Each structure stands twice: as C-alpha cells, then as structure tokens.
C-alpha cells in the first residue's frame, strides 16, 4: 500500500512541475526533458511514471480539472442562500488569484496544444457547460429565475460569459481583477433573477 501511495504522490509532483514549466515557457517548453529537470528527476525516473509526454500532459490537465471540481463541490455543500452559493461557485470558476489564473493558463496552453491531436482532444473535457446547466436549474427550482427566460439559452449565455471572463482574467489580469469580475457576475445574476 505505501508504495502505491508514493507512486501517485510522485505523479502529482511531476504534474505540478509540468504546470510550472508551462507557466514559464509555454507549451513549446513543456518537453519531457524540461519537466524532468523541474521535478529534479532523471529522464529515466520520469519515464517510470509517465511513458510519453502526452500521457503526462493529459494527467496534468486532469489534475487541474479535479482541483477546480473539489473547490466547487465544497461550496455546493455549504449552507448558503441559493444566489450567494451560485455567485461563490462562479467566482471559483473564473480565475481571481494567481493560483486559479495559473490553472487557466494550463487549460489554455493545453487546449491549443491538443486541438490538433484528435485522439486526445475532448471539447467537453472541463464539464463547465453541464455545471452551468445545473446552476440555472437550481435557480429555477427555487423560483428565482425570471419566468420568461429560455433555460437552454441562459445556460449557453452563462457558459460563454464565464469562459470569456476567465480568458480575459488570464490575458488582462489588471483590468479584469476580482472586484470587476464580481461586479459583472452580480449584475448578471441580477439580470436573470426575479425580484425577491
């Protein structure tokens, strides 16, 4: 058992080294050699944990996704008024600090890199569209969504808004800072919710 745990722990450390390399040098710099160096491992040792570069990168991306999902689930379980809960979840998806901006960088670099490798690429990989549908349904269950709205279109709109904000928070972090993101999201929730 301890061996198995060590193996997984080491894979995580390597994935984290891969993130750091991607953040610093972009995907062009994310070679197995550079990642091994960052993780302070020999090439041979790294190959023991990941046999190919793509296997390593797919795992590193999966970890980004799991970290975000864990943060979202934690908020979902909190005892909060529905609108506040939704705002907090959205603020976990749009990057508002260095750590989450780094995750977005990795997502962006990864998506650009794997886009032309059809065997690996899956547009739906981040599950955000489905999460947005659940949030709209959740508002509706609590009779908070304005009656005349089309839930399908509101899901698509919220999804585009969130990913657009995430993209801009990564590209222009000074203008698109936490306060501004919060104001846009509060305004959006206000625009789709019924008066209480």
Q: What's the Cα-to-Cα distance from 158 to each of 61, 108, 154, 155, rounded to whole Å?
A: 23, 19, 6, 5
What is d(CA 148, CA 194) in angstroms, rounded to the nearest whole number?
A: 10
| Residue numbers 92-121 binding its own copies by CB under 8 A | 105, 108-109, 111-113, 115-116
Task: Report which of 120, 138, 115 is spatially closest to residue 56, judged by C-alpha positions.
Answer: 120
177/25 Cα distance (integer angstroms): 24
Task: Please give the structure tokens belonging to residue 25.
Answer: 């040098």
Q: By CB under 8 A, what part of segment 143-172 binds its own copies?
A: 149-150, 153-154, 156-157, 159-165, 167-168, 171-172
Residue 153 vs 194, nearer CB to its own copies? 153
Which residue stretch of 34-42, 63-71, 95-103, 186-194 sits at the interface with its own copies (rule: CB under 8 A)? 186-194
Among residues 28, 55, 97, 98, the one that binds its own copies under rule CB under 8 A? 28
Q: What are the E-state strand segments in the chain? A: none
Name the site residues for its own copies (rule: CB under 8 A).
24-29, 105, 108-109, 111-113, 115-116, 123-124, 149-150, 153-154, 156-157, 159-165, 167-168, 171-172, 176, 180, 183-184, 187-188, 191-192
């Amino acid at each position: 058992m301890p061996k198995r745990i060590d193996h997984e722990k080491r894979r995580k450390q390597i994935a984290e080294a891969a993130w750091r390399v991607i953040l610093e040098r972009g995907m062009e710099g994310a070679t197995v050699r550079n990642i091994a160096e960052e993780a302070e491992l020999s090439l041979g040792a790294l190959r023991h944990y990941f046999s190919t570069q793509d296997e390593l990168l797919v795992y590193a991306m999966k970890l980004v996704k799991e970290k975000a999902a864990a943060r979202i689930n934690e908020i979902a379980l909190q005892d909060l008024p529905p609108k506040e809960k939704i705002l907090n979840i959205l603020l976990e998806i749009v990057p508002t600090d260095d750590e989450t901006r780094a995750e977005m960088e990795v997502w962006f670099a990864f998506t650009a890199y794997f886009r032309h490798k059809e065997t690996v690429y899956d547009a739906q990989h981040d599950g955000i569209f489905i999460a947005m549908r659940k949030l709209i349904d959740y508002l509706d269950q609590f009779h908070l969504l304005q009656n005349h709205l089309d839930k399908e279109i509101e899901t698509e709109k919220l999804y585009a808004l969130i990913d657009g904000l995430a993209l801009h928070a990564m590209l222009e972090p000074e203008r698109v800072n936490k306060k501004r993101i919060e104001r846009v999201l509060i305004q959006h929730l206000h625009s789709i919710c019924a008066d209480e």
